[in-house]
Amino acid sequence: MKKLAALVAIGAASALTLTACSSGDSSADGGDVTLQYWMWDDQQAPLYQACAAAFTEANPEITVEITQTGWAQYWQNLNTQITAGTAPDIFVNQISYYKEFVDNQQLLDLSEYVDASDIDFADFTPDLAERWVEGDARYGLPKDWDTVGVLYNVKAAEEAGFTAEDMASLTWNPTDGGTFGEFVRATSIDSAGRDGRDPAFDSDDVVRYGYYPEWADGAIGQNGWGVFAHANGFTFGDGTSAPDYSDESLVETATWLQSLIEDGYAPSFDSTSTLGTQAVMENENAASTIQGSWMASSYLGEAAPVDFAFAAVPTGPEGRFASTNGLADSVWAGTSHPDEAYKFVEYLASAECQDTVGEAGLIFPALTSATQVALEAREAMGYDSTAFVSVADAGDTFLVPVIERSAEVNTAVQDAMQSIAQGTDAQTALDTAAATVESYYQ
């Protein structure tokens, strides 16, 4: 941790740019070239500032300025800047947006640079590197990976009779919810103190819900419905044709989620659309939700007001399936400094930088050795990562897919899921979404 502290101190001396910027240019008071690097995670920004400072120390002719903005604003700003021809030289890329960038020729092919380097993709978590390849071209180097688990209130679980061992072996089905459904009922409490298993439970006067669903989850359901739908047999197909969002497996899943609201075990859509997940969980308005490995420090840290834990996602009729994803660092095709930009991207994928990031324990870096560094850091801080590592090691995951025309598909599917949360028949809503998505692939 001493190395990290020293690097962060160095990074603090560099400007964290928070204004709109153009592609890298000459620097009057730094190196010969200034590169612009964009990211959205505020917690990780100091870590990458440390990497940037170390990189410039080794390459004094190159200065890196980092811009960090929130998720929604990040993509809006990035698309605006790309359209205007003033995009950052390098930016953090996410697979949901990747295909559109490639189709519009907005990413620099890194293949020749990689071929001339000593990068060995066998050193990275399996499947991450291949995700950023189209044909013979490579459009990013792996940055990190993640997966999801069931975040739950430990006290609420124990009071309902669920041990940590019980939580680690939850089952689910769309008929009665399995043991996960039992947990949700048992941890739903009305104002009279009755739980959801009591016939007198008042679904109109609930003070704590058993489950908090994510309805703003695009076309993938990464932090919610996708986990259950995959456990019920839903898949996104082979990527060459439209996913069948009207499939019975997804309809059954959505109907079950809708029933939780109707029965008072999950909040109404009007409530979920105005409240943030972390606030709901920390206020103890809900006993469980699906959350990502990248959020572990927020819920397991000393500052957390509630004793939380993570459990592996439930096993469904077709098995256990936790969503997994990985980010990459990509270079804008219009950069004026492709050589320098790649040099920094290569450094971001190096053990030196990824170990620095791993030492903070916030996320799992793409390099397997750096993931081990992160796990050791988490263990030292008392964070149990079993829920995430166990499903990854067992292969009980599904990759967040690359989707054609992701912005439009995300809107169509999310609108359908949100209408279901508000009472629309699941089959009707998903039939409409499926037809819309199919039209995008024709």
Task: Return the biggest CA–CA distance within the chain.
Answer: 73
Same structural domain, 286 and 138: no
User: How many residues are present in the chain?
Assistant: 442
Domain end position, chosen among 340, 358, 384? 384
- Specify the pLDDT at position 96: 86
- Specify the pLDDT at position 194: 98
- Specify the pLDDT at position 25: 54
Residue-wise pLDDT for 316-347, tens only, equals 999 999 999 999 999 999 999 999 999 999 99
The closest of 226, 240, 237, 190 to 210, measured between CA atoms, is 190
- Specify the pLDDT at position 31: 53
CB 32 within 8 A of CB 328: no
Burial of 305 by CB count in 10 Å (0-12 exposed, 13-18 middle, 19+ buried)?
exposed
Q: Per-residue confidence at 186, pLDDT binned at 50, 70, 90?
A: very high
Q: Measure the CA–CA gap between 22 and 86, rounded to whole angstroms.
A: 4
- Specify the pLDDT at position 406: 87
392 located within any domain? no
Residue-wise pLDDT for 243-276, tens only, equals 999 999 999 999 999 999 999 999 999 877 677 8
Same structural domain, 98 and 185: no
- Specify the pLDDT at position 276: 86
- Specify the pLDDT at position 220: 94
Burial of 327 by CB count in 10 Å (0-12 exposed, 13-18 middle, 19+ buried)?
buried
* Cα distance from N-terminal residue to C-terminal residue, the chain: 53
CB 48 within 8 A of CB 39: yes
Tell me the Cα Rg of the chain: 23
Query: Which CATH number fits the domain that encloses residue 305?
Result: 3.40.190.10
- Specify the pLDDT at position 239: 75
The closest of 266, 237, 304, 258 to 438, measured between CA atoms, is 237
Same structural domain, 240 and 301: yes
Taking 90 as the threshold, does the pLDDT of residue 407 lie above it?
no
Q: What percent of the chain has pLDDT over 90?
A: 87
Give the amino acid at 157.
A
Mean pLDDT within 396-423: 93
Same structural domain, 164 and 313: yes
The closest of 151, 183, 158 to 260, measured between CA atoms, is 183
Grouping H, G, I as helix, E, B as strand and the rest as coil, residue 206 is strand
Same structural domain, 310 and 341: no
Q: Per-residue confidence at 18, pLDDT binned at 50, 70, 90?
A: very low
CB 262 within 8 A of CB 415: no
Give the amino acid at 94.
Q
26 located within any domain? no
8 located within any domain? no
Q: Per-residue confidence at 23, pLDDT binned at 50, 70, 90?
A: very low
pTM value is 0.89
- Specify the pLDDT at position 371: 97
Taking 90 as the threshold, does the pLDDT of residue 229 lie above it?
yes
393 located within any domain? no
298 located within any domain? yes
Same structural domain, 57 and 100: yes
Mean pLDDT within 181-190: 98
Place of tokens 């020293």: 6
Which H/E stretch holds residue 147? Answer: strand 144-153
Same structural domain, 140 and 156: no
**Average pLDDT value for the chain:** 92
Which sign, positive or negative, has the C-alpha torsion 258, 262, 267, 270?
positive
Residue-wise pLDDT for 340-365, tens only, equals 999 999 999 999 999 999 999 999 99
Q: Measure the CA–CA gap between 427 and 255, rounded to whole angstroms.
A: 8
Please give the tally of structural domains in the chain: 2
Instruction: List, in order, residues 6 or more apart from 238 with CB less than 8 Å away.
Output: none
- Specify the pLDDT at position 383: 95
Mean pLDDT within 293-301: 95
Same structural domain, 240 and 304: yes
Same structural domain, 85 and 186: no
Same structural domain, 418 and 280: yes
55 located within any domain? yes
Residue-wise pLDDT for 34-83, tens only, equals 999 999 999 999 999 999 999 999 999 999 999 999 998 999 999 999 99
- Specify the pLDDT at position 306: 97
Same structural domain, 220 and 250: yes
Instruction: List, in order, residues 6 or more apart from 260 with CB less than 8 Å away.
Output: 184, 210, 211, 213, 266
17 located within any domain? no
Same structural domain, 64 and 127: yes
21 located within any domain? no
Give the amino acid at 385.
S
Place of tokens 């050791």: 376
Domain that holds residue 309: 147-324+400-439
